[in-house]
Structure 1
């Protein structure tokens, strides 16, 4: 790695500024779409129906994003940077168009699946193209800037979606996303390289692993919305069996989703991937934060939504703070990340369940805890990325990049489903109300604090020389 110190200025001037615009624009497009859609869904249901399939808008989008992430590096090898980006933008735009004109929920779900596939392509290509268009010493800062885009989306998405929902113009939100997609595609056509020198990729697509991964995600997501304990247990067992089958097939397959050594916790690479997965799982209680803040602390949906964003804001802040760090500070940040996350989740388990009803002396410590959780993962995430690339075999760099996003999204989906199960078991619906919300908050944050604690063990193993 070059000894010349990297600076933020290098990412926003000259040709790098154009690269930053098209790459991080793709990230913010994918992220803003997530938050806009969540915000406008109630309006969508009022217009075209389909309340029974409400949650599947997110489930199908995430599953398709996982598939897109897993296939993105193949797309990059086949089409090269410029055409790969254009193909990803086309798929995302096509899905957005279907959503914009959907006359029924089934058509909308189809559009959301196609959108998710394109979003997975775009999100993973951002990681892959960072390695191609920027100097190696800029990678950590670029990942920090990529994380900042999620922070911007967290703030802008609900506001934009809320504006369209306020005027019952939810279709216009998708039309706006389509226009922005076209703009970024035109910029990519002009600026991105048409060629990329890399090792030839003669492997095929890991179809069996993708099928098993998708099936495990869908089964666990389905189990998370059930009420019968026996059915939930059966769903968990089935998802566990599918996941074990996935690992067994991946370990013996010629065509793989993960680089060599990624499945073994005894290797540096495997420990780093495990740390990334466990940290990603640890942030999933975030999805219940708006509900807890409204139910237990008497805040409006608008305020609750933005207080819930404190975790994402912390992630962005941590990424920007640590992105310029080099070893040994970078290695320490990877270990520091799960420690801060566990501390924040434990504090949230202590303060969030208290029935404050508008008392900010009670709510403020919980909000601080959310920020600490986000700050923790933000400090470590840019350096997890660079350490994974350093640990991956030289001929499997592109595979390693795609695997980062695949592992992250898979962990998000499993974590979200596990959060739903934990909240349901803890009583969020039975007994429900204040009592149920308080019990669910206490158990949810306490249980999920275990994920970063396990992540700490993996992180320590991963940064060993």
Structure 2
């Protein structure tokens, strides 16, 4: 591994964002941005939807079904890529997302809306997974980390744009147009994909002539494992929406037991094939397992942001608009960190992978101390301190994220690179579902459901203090070398 912080001969952002690569970058980043923007648009307009078509008792299922369907879509992405080829698979995902979006826009009642949200989630999950998986197909290896940084940074962009887009339509009483407005983006992405992405699954990349893994196409869909994964995600998601503390705990434990069962079948020689995750994904003794674990812990820490608007409004009296965009500083930090760190190589990249979780841990502990203070926004220093803490948490995740994603592809066994890159989305979405349920469990256990100021302050302390353990665990793994780049790897170029 080189000790230089930059490689003057390595391709830069201009190589990624110009010519045909620029169009491909736009398509892949656009797929993630489309899915992520839709998440925040739907969350913003959902109160208006319930007022018009009813279904308040099914409110939480909009998120639950969407997340579970997204996980299911991410699972099928690798099979679709190998069977249909990059171009057809991506366009099929866009069609599925479009069908769900039109159902949502035309929904006369909540069951129709839930059907649309499920289709949206399924198509969006495929889009997310393909956006990561296609990076290794349409770009040369030296561009992988920058492409990963660009694609993952779209979540921050969506956090800034999604609430504004949904809020404008909801404000003027036209929530249906919030969904219709997404369809021109779908058409544009489809045209770019048709022109710039190869069609056949055996098409070689012009730059280094690597073919899409043919072995993956011969694997049947592991239906029983897919059922276990989805059932686990449903159970964990239910833990985030039930009001009873004991029931939430029971649902989460049931979900984790199902996940353990899935892992045991994947590790069993008798039941391993066909695989749902690449070899070594479930063991901390392997490099790939360590990378997945670090990704999961960092992703879990980021889910604490769902309660930040509530704390800012309840404890500090901020308006919903101000609280929402203050909370968006976390996602903005993630985007900035990913974009600025993606071009680093060698020891510079390794330092960011190790330092990132430490920054996240410090930021989470700072929030546990700052947010409960009711007088925090009385001074400019207080406002600045909470902004720095929020942005710092996102920066800490972002500076190591593109390098972790690149290492997933390089750590996989031969023939499993496509499965590994597509599984990035599965791991990320699953950790989000687990984090959301765990956040609800911790907050409600601290008395948040009572709605009083003192209980909200106590919940803020406990939530961020407990969730600081996740990045701390990732930091331990990084500093012990569990996610280190190999001596002869892409990042050592």
The TM-score, its normalising length taken from structure 2, stands at 0.91
- Partner residue, 2:409: 389
SS at match of 2:93: helix
Aligned to 2:259: 243
Q: Report how far residue 3 of structure 1 moved.
A: 8.2
Aligned mate of 1:436, from 439, 443, 455? 455
CA deviations over 1:199-230 (Å, ceiling 9, x no partner): 21221112222211111121122223333343
**Structure 1 residues 186 and 218, CA, compared in 2 at 3 Å: closer, same or farther?**
same
- Cα gap change, 1:296 to 1:25, in 2 (>3 Å): same
User: Match of 1:453?
Assistant: 472
Q: Distance in 1 between matches of 2:246 and 2:143?
A: 51
Matching of residue 463 in structure 1 with residue 484 in structure 2: yes
2:490 — aligned with what?
none
By how many angstroms is 1:82 displaced? 0.9
Deviation, 1:148, is 2.7
- Between the aligned partners of 1:112 and 1:135, the Cα distance in structure 2 is 35
Q: Which residue of 2 aligns with 1:42?
A: 47
Equivalence map 1:34-433=2 (5 Å): 34-195=39-200, 196=203, 197-200=211-214, 201=216, 202-252=218-268, 253-356=272-375, 358-360=377-379, 361-430=381-450, 432-433=451-452
Count residues with an aligned counterpart.
464
Quote the residue 2:37 is aligned against: 32
Provide the secondary structure at the position in 2 that maps to 1:461: coil
Distance in 2, Cα, partners of 1:280 & 1:239 = 18
Alpha-carbon separation, structure 1, partners of 2:240 and 2:181: 33
* Aligned 8 A contact 1:297 1:363 in 2: no
Deviations 1:403-448 (A, max 9, x none): 1111111001101111011111111112x22112111111000000
Please state how far the C-alpha of 1:103 moved relative to its aligned partner: 0.5
Cα–Cα, structure 1 residues 55 and 364, in superposed 2: closer, same or farther, change >3 Å? farther
Deviation readout 1:128-153 (Å, 9 max, x if unpaired): 11111111111111111113322221
C-alpha distance in structure 2 between counterparts of 1:170 and 1:5, whole Å: 46
Q: Distance in 2 between matches of 1:357 and 1:382?
A: 34
Secondary structure (helix, strand or coil) at the match of 1:462 reads coil
Per-residue deviation at 1:357? 7.0
Aligned partner of residue 182 in structure 2, secondary structure: helix
3-state SS, counterpart of residue 232 of structure 2: helix
CA 1:225/1:31 → structure 2, altered by over 3 Å: closer, same or farther?
closer
Moved more, 307-316 or 24-33: 24-33
- Asked whether the equivalents of residues 155 and 309 of structure 1 are also in contact (C-alpha less than 8 Å), the reply is yes
**Unpaired stretches in structure 2, ≥5 consecutive residues:** 2-6, 204-210, 487-493
Structure showing the higher helix proportion among its residues: 1
Shift of 1:267: 1.1
In structure 2, C-alpha distance between the alignment counterparts of 1:97 and 1:285, rounded to whole Å: 31
Counterpart of 2:15 (choices 7, 10, 30) is: 10
Does the CA-based 8 Å contact 1:102-1:108 persist in structure 2? Answer: yes
Q: Secondary structure at the match of 2:44?
A: helix
Alignment partners' CA distance in 1, 2:485 and 2:39 = 37
